[in-house]
Amino acid sequence: MFGLGPSELIIIAIIVLLIFGAKRLPEIGKGLGGAIKEFKNVKKELNSDNDSDADNEKEKKMNGEEPPPSLEAKIANKVLDQVPGVKTVRDVKKKADAVKNLLS
């Protein structure tokens, strides 16, 4: 673990205890645990999206449709979907585009 021995870890723990105090340590641990859990969930979603996208990509190439978005675009979309009004606006835009495609 980064070449840290037990004595270094104890010293770091004491310094953290002095800086944040005993009352704040559980809150910090809960926040870190939640952040790690969220990163794992996003990683799983992206991996499952990549697996399903590979299958969809083959079908789209056969049908002549446009290529799938890049990893950066997927992450940006996930972040923007968490903003309260953006997801609603995107859903409305998708529906409007679908209606437009049906009419043309």
Crossing angle between the packed helical segments 84-103 and 71-81, to the nearest 10 degrees: 110
The domain locations on the chain are 1-68, 69-104
Least confident of 2-11, 30-39, 54-63: 54-63
CA distances from 32 to 13, 47, 104 (A): 15, 23, 51
Q: What is d(CA 27, CA 49) in angstroms, rounded to the nearest whole number?
A: 33
pLDDT in tens, 55-87: 665 665 566 566 667 777 777 777 777 776 777
Q: Is the pLDDT of residue 3 over 60?
A: yes
Q: Is the pLDDT of residue 40 over 70?
A: yes
Instruction: Say what percent of the chain tops pLDDT 90.
Output: 5
Global confidence as pTM = 0.40
